[in-house]
Amino acid sequence: MKKNIDNFKIFYLSFLGKTVSDLLSKKILDIWKPINNSRVAAIGFCSPYLKSINKKTQKVFFLIPSLHGLYHFDENNKNLTVSVNEYLLPIDDLFLDRLLVIHSFEYLIDHQKFLREAWRTLDKNGEILIIVPNSFGFWRPYYKKNLSSLRTFSFSELNSLLINNFFTPIDFSYSLFFPPTNSQLVLKKINIFEKVSKSFLKFFSGIIIVRARKNYSAAVLKEKKIIKRKIMQKIRS
């Protein structure tokens, strides 16, 4: 697993990686418009995408999963960079406005535990943006071989995970419809691939992007039901 940081560095230094980061950075900006004084955390290998979320933010937290290995971030940028346990984030309750998850979700063992921890750190109206490899996508073998991805995801799997862990999915997007190649001839035509393919080949895209909002009321209601059930059990006993 500790090879992941080196794998990511190699990937994003390539022409293919730079093309992907440019494309996805625009996607993130389209999905998440900048909010003044927002508090944003990015977990995974997110340095190629920080420019797309760093505008008008109050604080940006750059979280590296400990199993990925160590990564030294640019000291000239204002941020808090830390190696973390994904299931015990060093962030206060209700602190974050947004959480970006990229090159992280597909390496988790316990997705429910991570989502509950993400839910804890997000404000009442906080949002999470998860970018993961598509189970049916052209990029699946590449993610497995070159980026050591533990697994991939389908729309239904992501939707179910989010709903069952107190998040309301708002939007699903798809991207990377071109093959994972370093051919500049192909990569210079990615806009054509994206426009032509997104309407009828979305289920074969390289990645799935899901934006979801914290469902605060659902968790509170469930907690009240649990407390009420425990009280009734004590009364009966």
What pLDDT does residue 73 have? 63
Residue written as token pair 């995970």: 161
CA distance 211 to 190: 23
What pLDDT does residue 75 have? 55
The CATH number assigned to the domain holding 29 equals: 3.40.50.150
CA distance 59 to 79: 7
CA distance 24 to 49: 8
Contact 76, 132 (CB under 8 A): no
Structure tokens at 217: 């009321």
Summarize pLDDT for 98-131 with one digit per residue, the tens: 999 999 999 999 999 999 999 999 999 999 999 9
What pLDDT does residue 39 have? 93
Domain coverage including residue 144:
4-236
Identify the DSSP state of 42.
Answer: E
What pLDDT does residue 201 have? 75
What pLDDT does residue 191 have? 75
C-alpha separations of 57 from 40, 48, 50, 53, 116 in Å: 7, 17, 11, 8, 24
Contact 75, 69 (CB under 8 A): no
Count of domains observed in the chain: 1
CA distance 79 to 57: 10
Q: Is 0.75 surpassed by the pTM of this model? A: yes
What pLDDT does residue 226 have? 43
Could you count the other beta carbons within 10 Å of the beta carbon of residue 117?
A: 18
Q: Which residues of the chain have pLDDT under 70?
A: 1-3, 54-55, 72-80, 196-200, 218-237
